[in-house]
A and B are shown apart, each in its own frame.
Chain A
Amino acid sequence: EVQLLESGGGLVQPGGSLRLSCAASAFTFSNYPMAWVRQAPGKGLEWVSAISHTGGSPYYADSVKGRFTISRDNSKNTLYLQMNSLRAEDTAVYYCAKEYGSGSYRWFDPWGQGTLVTVSS
């Protein structure tokens, strides 16, 4: 069974940094694009960032562009999200998700269990 296990969340002050990790197992990680999606407390889902299966072509939501960096290490089956200059509005559960579909038209399946990031002083 495909598993995605996020880690690295926690409490951070505004302006601080965190790096999230997502360890993947039970599928050929290097064959699939991956993404991060977040959910603020009690709110809906927001796509944050995605990356191709090779690690090229990263792209970002406007709300995080210039502050967040997505990357992956296919030798370690791990996806990362480096988050800098964090703001209160970045407080959310961050999910990693495997992308599936055809060409550039991809949905998210499955999702990890999420890791909570809280930005507060």
Chain B
Amino acid sequence: EIVLTQSPGTLSLSPGERATLSCRASQSVSGSYLAWYQQKPGQSPRLLIYDTSSRATGIPDRFSGSGSGTDFTLTISRLEPEDFAVYYCQQYGSSPRTFGQGTEVEIK
């Protein structure tokens, strides 16, 4: 099974700043089949990015994804107040599909 390790565990930033979240896989993710989800307290996860870099419907363009192989990145270009949340990466290139442990983006 592919283990995904996200870093940092917590990112403390101010609105307007750039956030860079990392997701590293224990082995190469087939086809760059990697997604990112956002989860706010008390809510279910919401899809942000699929296929490493494609934004889901309705997701603002301040969210972008990149990477390949074992290293992937989610970038939020300028943090808005509603972006403070926990972010999870997930690979779906091999079975079982696995998630990272999450990165919390908190207000500094």
User: Which residues of A does B touch, CB under 8 Å?
Assistant: 44-47, 59, 61-62, 95, 100-101, 105-114
Contact = CB atoms under 8 A, between A and B. Distances in A.
Contact of A105 (B43, B44, B88, B93): B93
Contacts, number: 55
A46 B33 CA distance: 17
A109 B31 contact: no
Nearest to B30: A105
Task: Summarize B's interface: helix, strand, loop or mixed.
Answer: loop
Nearest to B44: A111
Interface of B: 30-31, 33, 35, 37, 43-47, 50, 56, 88, 90, 92-93, 95-102
Task: Summarize A's interface: helix, strand, loop or mixed.
Answer: strand
Contacts of B88: 44-45
A110 B46 contact: yes
Given A46-B99, A47-B98, 6 more contacts: A44-B88, A47-B96, A101-B33, A105-B92, A107-B47, A108-B47
Contacts of A100: 50
Nearest to A60: B96
B96 to A, nearest CB: 6
